[in-house]
């Protein structure tokens, strides 16, 4: 409760504690219960890191070598990443003036993965969403103009969703891609390998995080300090993905064939009697299967009337079985 980090500058450290609290919650441990040894080891590991946070020092200004002016190219770079434990976004400002380049962290946002299981693709998409929200808040708070925004992810499916028709995918994906594209363009998004993605420092702990002033978490990845012509080539190739593809159901509806072909009869009387006989035969077949009473003997007036109604409906395109009321009357 004593940690105050509204900008998320040390969120790469705090997310470890958030994940630990979630693991304790999942274990169903009460407030007065002792935690298991495995969780206690993680807690002691975080306590060992906590004193190092007191020595973290970050310059108040974003730049010290460049000046604000028409000759300075200002860019905002946002890196997003996710793991099964949580997802994160971190944003940097990059200033380029002549032969001078400098970068500085602006803010970061981390969240623990929800208790309800989500797949890695969905978590990566969630990371992209919080990255867009973080970048938008930063843009609104800055007093100078940013010329270009970049968003970086190491998950190819997210790029496929952004650069394709998102309506082809599930509602979970479609709604979030729609939010992403409200404030960004598909061209703003690019691919970087995990080793170049700074957000990995928050989502994938591989030991004690580097909290020195010159760490890549505070300064940004090394390629941002180089001219754009020297940036690593983008290995991503535009493609589509079947991940979260909306299910399509195809069905074939067979048109029922009429009982009688009216073109085979030259008079109404012969057509009516043939139709009545066919309808009686169909009725008797159903009765045989249901052990019911069969109709025999000469054709009755009621049967002739039902056959007449059938022929009228046949002429108007209404077949038995397609209308419940007509089927009941027949």
Using the predicted structure, report yes or no on whether residue 329 has a pLDDT greater than 60.
no
pLDDT-derived band at 178 (thresholds 50, 70, 90) equals very high
Amino acid 1: pLDDT: 59
What are the pLDDT digits (tens) for 122-141? 999 999 999 999 999 999 99
Please tell me the distance from the alpha carbon of residue 92 to that of residue 76, in angstroms, as a whole number: 6
Using the predicted structure, report yes or no on whether residue 320 has a pLDDT greater than 60.
no
Pick the closest to residue 160 from 171, 149, 148, 168 (CA basis): 168
Amino acid 259: pLDDT: 61
Please tell me the distance from the alpha carbon of residue 130 to that of residue 114, in angstroms, as a whole number: 14
Amino acid 322: pLDDT: 46
The burial class, CB within 10 Å (0-12 / 13-18 / 19+), for 76 is: buried
Using the predicted structure, report yes or no on whether residue 328 has a pLDDT greater than 60.
no
Task: Report yes or no: 87 and 110 within 8 Å, Cβ to Cβ.
Answer: yes
Amino acid 136: pLDDT: 95
Amino acid 158: pLDDT: 92
Amino acid 316: pLDDT: 77
The burial class, CB within 10 Å (0-12 / 13-18 / 19+), for 215 is: middle
> Within 13 A of 186's CA, how many CA atoms are on the CB side?
12
Amino acid 4: pLDDT: 82
Using the predicted structure, report yes or no on whether residue 17 has a pLDDT greater than 50.
yes
Please tell me the distance from the alpha carbon of residue 76 to that of residue 149, in angstroms, as a whole number: 5
Share of the chain above pLDDT 90, in %: 29
Residue at token pair 């994160």: 88
Please tell me the distance from the alpha carbon of residue 6 to that of residue 40, in angstroms, as a whole number: 28
pLDDT-derived band at 299 (thresholds 50, 70, 90) equals confident
Using the predicted structure, report yes or no on whether residue 207 has a pLDDT greater than 80.
no
- The model's pTM is 0.72
| Mean pLDDT calculated for residue range 151-166 | 90
> Within 13 A of 292's CA, how many CA atoms are on the CB side?
10
| Mean pLDDT calculated for residue range 185-202 | 90
Please tell me the distance from the alpha carbon of residue 287 to that of residue 285, in angstroms, as a whole number: 5
Amino acid 317: pLDDT: 67
Amino acid 248: pLDDT: 64
């Amino acid at each position: 409760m004593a940690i105050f980090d509204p900008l998320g500058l040390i969120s790469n450290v705090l997310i470890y504690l958030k994940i630990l609290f979630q693991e304790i919650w999942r274990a169903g441990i009460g407030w007065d219960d002792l935690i298991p040894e495995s969780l206690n080891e993680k807690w002691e590991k975080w306590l060992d890191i906590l004193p190092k946070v007191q020595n973290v020092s970050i310059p108040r200004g974003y730049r010290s070598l460049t000046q604000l002016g028409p000759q300075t190219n200002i860019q905002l770079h946002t890196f997003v990443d996710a793991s099964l434990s949580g997802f994160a976004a971190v944003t940097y400002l990059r200033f380029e003036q002549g032969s001078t380049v400098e970068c500085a962290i602006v803010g970061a946002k981390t969240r623990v993965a929800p208790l309800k299981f989500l797949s890695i693709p969905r978590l990566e998409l969630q990371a992209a969403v919080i990255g867009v929200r973080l970048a938008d808040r930063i843009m609104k708070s800055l007093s100078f103009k940013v010329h270009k925004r970049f968003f970086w992810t190491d998950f190819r499916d997210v790029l496929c969703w952004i650069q394709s028709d998102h309506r082809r995918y599930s509602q979970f994906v479609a709604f979030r891609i729609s939010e992403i594209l409200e404030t960004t363009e598909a061209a703003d998004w690019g691919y970087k390998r995990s080793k170049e993605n700074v957000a990995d420092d928050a989502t994938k702990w591989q030991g004690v995080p580097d909290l020195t002033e010159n760490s890549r978490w505070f300064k940004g990845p090394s390629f941002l300090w180089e001219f754009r012509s020297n940036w690593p080539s983008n290995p991503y190739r535009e493609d589509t993905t079947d991940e979260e593809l909306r299910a399509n159901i195809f069905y074939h509806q067979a048109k029922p064939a009429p009982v009688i072909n009216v073109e085979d009869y030259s008079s109404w009387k012969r057509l009516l009697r043939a139709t009545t006989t066919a309808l009686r035969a169909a009725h008797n077949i159903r009765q045989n299967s249901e052990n019911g009473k069969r109709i025999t003997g000469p054709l009755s007036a009621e049967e002739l009337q039902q056959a007449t109604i059938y022929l009228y409906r046949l002429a108007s395109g209404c077949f038995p079985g397609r209308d419940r009321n007509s089927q009941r009357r027949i």
